[in-house]
Amino acid sequence: MRVRLPAVLRMFWAGSLVAFGLMVLVGYVEFRMGFPPPHYNPLGGARYEDLMEFPPVYRMLHTADFYEGINTSRVTYPPLGMVLFAALYASGHPVGIYLGTAAVWLAVCVWGVRRALIAEGIGGMTATLFPLTVALVSFPIAGLLQRGNIELFVWVSAGVGTWLFVRGRDDAAAALWGLAAAVKLYPIVLLGLLLPRGKWRAFAVGVGTFVGVTVASLAWLGPTMGVAWHGAVKNVFRYQGMRVGEWSLHELAANHSVFGLAKLMAIALGLPLAKLTLPYYACGALLMGWAYFARLWRMPMANQLLALTTFMVALPPISYFYALVQLYAAWVVLVFAAIRAEKNGVRVKGLRMAMGLLVPLFASFMVFTYPRMGLFGGLVQACLLVGLWLCAVEFRLDEAPDRREAEVTSSA
């Protein structure tokens, strides 16, 4: 039986195309007005800049000098992230491997969503065009590929982990989330999906994977584990400390971290930015802890995934537009929640709001950046992320029963 794409998804689809058109229109107008390239073309910077920043530094690999870097170029990633760069450079074709991985990953994602839509009764043409065009007009995806950031590999690991989790393969999901966290720390929060379901072994697998690969990476990086540990920690925190006080157009436009809102409040109150980081993290942890145990613990998996994912891309003080690709796993879950609700004749309160907030989050920050008007894309998207998180905490976004929600009920 053929099923029409629900109205909320048609709204998201149309909104995404409009947002892409606005990016092109705004870029053209700013180009005609004589604005410099970063204004009218947010993808106009050096290609694969993040990927190809460190080859000179990696000539010092396995020495203490490696962690000191060259001038301001230091590898500011956790240990497995450092190893990943080493593997890419050792291949001799880092850009080719990066783009090949991206092409395969995106093709698999589009094909997988298409197949699942057809299984739900959506027509073949719609099932093909919907995920394909959404991927093509997604600014976070385009920005990720243009920058060549290793967020791609985090996205692959975390995304496959979420797919395995939905299919009930908890141990494998946890292991992949642990790997993702060892490259960039924030995906560790995804292990929070396991606890309401009593999946303690899987949780231990995730933590063990994170710790194990981190220790193994430190041993390989050398020259000793102690030197590698101190070098990695120093560089990560040095980078954070250097960037938290930055108040540039680039940060205001492209960094969607809620820390930007906290900095804005601190400046207005005359508080020093240097002492803001620890209170910020403490407040974020307390707020998420309360929401997790008081609200999310017994809510549907769609809510838990959306809230945890939104939290992990909004909390880090440095979180640029390409990190928003992590929201696509939650978006896919919401897509099928909308289809199930349509089939059951159920109106899911809050679902339209969540989809509406995701439209500008997947759009270019330049659409919301007008410095002369005091409007900056990063701050706008930070507010949108707060709204999306509150939506996940407040409304049940999947009223249709599923296996993962049944596990929460049975284990409570």
Residues in the chain: 412
Other beta carbons within 10 angstroms of residue 289's beta carbon come to 10
Residue 178 lies in a domain: yes
Burial string for 187-209 (b: 16+ CB within 10 Å, else e) reads bbbbbbbbbbbebeebbebbbeb
Distance CA 79, CA 169 (A): 27
Residue 108 lies in a domain: yes
pLDDT tens column, 218-271: 999 999 999 999 999 998 877 776 667 677 777 888 899 999 999 888 888 888
Q: Which residues of the chain have pLDDT under 70?
A: 1, 37-40, 241-243, 245, 399-412
| Tokens found for residue 329 | 């796993």
Identity of the amino acid at 120: E
Distance CA 165, CA 157 (A): 12
pLDDT tens column, 26-37: 888 888 887 776
Residue 2 lies in a domain: no
Q: 360 lies in which domain range? A: 7-411
* Secondary structure letter of residue 93 according to DSSP: -
Q: What would the DSSP string read from start to end of 228-241?
A: HHHHHHHHHHHHHH
Strand residue runs (E) in 51-198: none
Contact assessment for residue 330 and residue 305, using Cβ atoms and an 8 Å cutoff:
yes
Secondary structure percentages of the chain, helix, strand, coil, to 5:
75, 0, 25
Contact assessment for residue 369 and residue 361, using Cβ atoms and an 8 Å cutoff:
no
Cα separations in angstroms, 259 against 321, 381, 403: 14, 12, 36
Q: What is the pLDDT of residue 406?
A: 54
Q: What would the DSSP string read from start to end of 320-386?
A: BGGGGGGGHHHHHHHHHHHHHHHHHT---TTHHHHHHHHHHHTS-GGGG-BGGGTB-HHHHHHHHHH
Element (H, E) at 24: helix 7-32
Q: What is the pTM of this model?
A: 0.94
**Residues in a beta bridge with 66:** none
Q: Find the distance separating the first CA and the last CA of the chain, reported in whole Å.
A: 37
Residue 335 lies in a domain: yes
Distance CA 271, CA 50 (A): 33
Residue 11 lies in a domain: yes
Residue 1 lies in a domain: no
Contact assessment for residue 256 and residue 310, using Cβ atoms and an 8 Å cutoff:
no
- Distant-in-sequence, close-in-space partners of 195: CB < 8 Å, separation ≥ 6: 203
Q: What is the pLDDT of residue 402?
A: 55
Smallest CA-to-CA distance from 170 within 140, 193, 144, 142 is with 193
Q: What is the pLDDT of residue 399?
A: 65
Identity of the amino acid at 69: G
Domain count, the chain: 1
Torsion angle of the four alpha carbons 163, 176, 383, 33, in this order, in degrees rounded to the nearest 10: -90
Distance CA 30, CA 112 (A): 38
Q: What are phi and psi of 70, to 5 degrees?
A: -125, 115
